[in-house]
Amino acid sequence: MKVQLKRYKGNPILKPTKNWWESNLVLNCGTTIFNNKVIILYRAQGLDSISRIGYAESEDGLTISKINNLPLLEGSITNEYERKGIEDPRITKIGDTFYITYIAVSVWPAEHPLPAFAKPFEPPWRCRASLLYTKDFKNFERKGIMIFSDMDQKDVALFPEKIRGKFVAFHRKFPGMWIAYSDDLINWSGDKLVLSPRPNSWEEERVGAGNPPIKTKYGWLCFYHGADHKYNYCLGAMLLDLENPFRITAKLDYPILEPIKSYEKGGPIVPNVVFTCGAVEKDGQYLVYYGAGDSVIGVATVEKEKLLRTLIDVPHKPALISPRFGEASRRDRRSKLGKKAKRKIKKLKSKNLTP
């Protein structure tokens, strides 16, 4: 039986307001729990098409109990990479510090040669993954561009603890989902492919990280997005090995959330989208927050035990990948569920352990 995310009946929980800076779109929010409240940092745009970060809180994780009338964060006027704003925040707590990854957006100067991906008559966009941190969501310190500063980046999410003594983060080399390692959160190396698009499927055109991974006894739980060639964005779920997080140990081959509601299908810029940047564990459930139709924000839930049990019953079997991915495709095929991971799952199931 398929497991699915269940939409909150009060969706969307956040919509554009009369505040000029968020009057057009609100979407793609990072989330965490702080002082027993769910903190929601969301991307917002007004008619100036500049992305800013808004702030909201929820006592129960479903209904909004507080929302600020001013942006919490804006692009720096002295940072050339943030000329068009900052977007898609993801929040990771490490120790007593909340690290917030975001994408700094700008366009290349007119005198700069157009990048290879630029389309006729469209702006030559430039996107750089950046990092800031806080302990109280009132005072922030920016660390600047954080990962591979010479290439466009999106979908960057930090793991909530070091692995083998190093920080770990998801990032994107289009069209796949990668991880990299760092000693200082600024200089990154050792990147490895985690997941590639799967031909003739709901995730055939691109895949990318969603929430910062959640640690479970079965592995790192990741909700991620995938898109088909018609740019319909859906959400999937998978588990990664705790010590070698580039290895997928279990993965659903179907989406756990698809854009079917009117507020998910009818976005003014990109329709047919469900896209997550944040999820929290609360009261035996996972609450997944998502941008819907690139215009509003919804939340959907799933029972923790039900999801994890379903995942470990369907170990990952990598599909053949288009030859255009070259060496990456061969590496991805080698990310099969290894003998060690199989034995671990078999042992857990034989003891009837609950997640």
Task: Spell out the domain ranges in the chain.
Answer: 10-213+257-301
CA 204 distance to own-chain centroid: 18
Q: How far is CA 14 from CA 26, 27, 55, in A?
A: 7, 8, 11
Q: What is the pLDDT of residues 32-52, one digit of tens each?
A: 999 999 999 999 999 999 999
Whether the Cβ atoms of residue 238 and residue 308 lie closer than 8 Å to each other? no
Report the CATH number of the 10-213+257-301 domain: 2.115.10.20
Q: What is the model's pTM?
A: 0.89
Angle at 112 between CA 109 and CA 114, to 5 degrees: 105
Closest CA to 76 of 169, 161, 145, 25: 145
Among the listed ranges 54-68, 117-131, 207-221, 235-249, which one has the minimum average pLDDT value?
117-131
> With 50 as the cut, is the pLDDT of residue 331 above it?
no
List the beta bridge partners of residue 168.
181
Whether the Cβ atoms of residue 63 and residue 10 lie closer than 8 Å to each other? yes
Report the C-alpha gap between 162 and 182 in whole angstroms. Answer: 9
Report the C-alpha gap between 248 and 61 in whole angstroms. Answer: 29
Q: Quick one: average pLDDT of 342-346?
A: 51
Report the C-alpha gap between 345 and 313 in whole angstroms. Answer: 9
